Amino acid sequence: MPDPAWRGLFRDRDFLRLWLSGLAVFVVRWLETLAVGVFAYNVTHSAFVVAMLTMLRLLPMGLFGAFLGAAADRMDRRQALVLTILSQIVTSAIIAALAIADAVEVWHLAVASFMNGIGWAADNPVRRAMIGQVAGPARMGTAMSIDVATSNGSRVLGPTLGGVILATVGLDGAFMLSVLIYLPALVAAWRLPPAPPAPGAGATPVLASIAEGLALVRREPRLSGALLVTLLFNIFGWPATSMVPVIGQDRLALGPSGIGLLAGMDGVGAFIGAVTVAVLARPEHYKMIYLCGISLYFAMLPAFAWAPDAGLAGVALLLVGIGGAGFAIMQPTLIFLATPVELRSRILGLLSVCIGLGPIGFLLLGGLAELIGAPAATAAMGTAGLVALALTRPWWRHI
């Protein structure tokens, strides 16, 4: 009996290095998101500001995703990954130094969020494209399941660490820990073999490369449908996670540690969902997992927003995480499998653009939260997501 695909992947040193670099970056992402959200809300008492700071981590995807995808075809992806991690280390170190000097301002955190968002935007066309090359089409679903399980497992560890360090040490401790966690990621990326571009990859101008990717999306209904569903998730679903610190503090009366544990419930559910998909999912299930995942995510947002106590709010976030895992695994998997090899970085760059349009949702959510409160705004976004998904069925039914 052959070994499961996941065992073979974990015996592959290059996959392990890519996995480890992703793990470290994921943990820091959620650690800093929680720490920044709690710190900014305590300083400004504005749900809108909290939403905007989270939005700034997504904005570079919309601004630069297509260009990063085209650029990734033209350079050694190993070098690109090393440079990306180095830039994130420098950004976190600067914020740690400012916090130690008691000189950090909210605008400093806004700039840091944007800078680290550039690294996030590069993840699909650089690191995940490398995972696809290492895993190959036959193991791509399993590889993405492992990667998403890791990302979502970090959503337990990251916010928990962020809440505890913020409560016991302060913002300086959270960002100093970020720098330490990044170092193994840098070493792992450095030890990867070179991944030079294919011969002739730089022959086409950047704008023409982007246009070629867009033309493929228009021709291929599986790609256009998958990207549309991704857009809906990032407008109506993903922004709601920025309200966890606000709802946790104002509605549920939790402190930083309690908010960190609550935020981690989303990650627990996502980890459970991702492991389940990795073990049980087959290619014929991919579309169902994708669509059921986003539907469950949207449906549980109102349940979280109106939960009368922290326990029920945690259960709702657990289910949010399960749904989000199914969606997040199938998002790059379906796109990878529907795209010719020579265009994958460009299409994954366009995926980053769709993710990066999430700031529209953050602006909408932040404005609603100021007008009607964070719980009502969060519930409204989940309901609107379900309605939008139903109305756009003619465009995504061919996935």
CATH code at position 257? 1.20.1250.20
Compute the half-sphere exposure of residue 276: CA atoms within 13 Å on the CB side of its CA.
Answer: 17
Instruction: Show the CA angle centred on residue 226, arms to residues 130 and 207, nearest 5°.
Output: 65
Residue 2 lies in a domain: no
Q: Which residue has the higher pLDDT, 261 or 92?
A: 92
In this structure, the dihedral spanned by the alpha carbons of residues 308, 315, 370 and 40, taken in order and rounded to 10 degrees, is: 110
Residue 216 lies in a domain: yes
Q: Which residue has the higher pLDDT, 137 or 266?
A: 266
Residue 196 lies in a domain: no
For residue 362, the model assigns a pLDDT of 81
Return all residues near 281 (Cβ < 8 A) that are at least 6 apart: 141, 145, 289, 329
Give the residue from 88, 92, 91 showing the smallest Cα distance to 123. Answer: 88
Q: Is 388 helix (H, G, I), strand (E, B) or coil?
A: helix
* Domain enclosing residue 99, as ranges: 12-191+205-396
pTM of the model: 0.70
Count of domains for the chain: 1
Crossing angle between the packed helical segments 286-305 and 374-391, to the nearest 10 degrees: 150
**Average pLDDT value for residue range 17-42:** 88
Give the residue from 116, 113, 151, 115 showing the smallest Cα distance to 131. Answer: 151
Residue 5 lies in a domain: no
Structure tokens of 42?
Answer: 């305590």
For residue 49, the model assigns a pLDDT of 84
Confidence of residue 2 (pLDDT cuts 50, 70, 90): very low
Residue 200 lies in a domain: no
- 200 has pLDDT over 60: no
**Average pLDDT value for residue range 18-36:** 89
Task: Give the pLDDT confidence of 124-174 residue by residue, as tens digits.
Answer: 788 988 888 888 777 777 787 788 778 777 777 777 788 788 888 889 999
Q: What is the CA radius of gyration of the chain?
A: 20
For residue 1, the model assigns a pLDDT of 39
Percent of the chain surpassing pLDDT 90: 30
Residue 348 lies in a domain: yes
Computed from CA positions of residues 325, 330, 331, 336, in that sequence, does the dihedral angle turn out positive or negative? positive
- 258 has pLDDT over 90: no
Q: Which residue has the higher pLDDT, 70 or 45?
A: 45
Residue 341 lies in a domain: yes
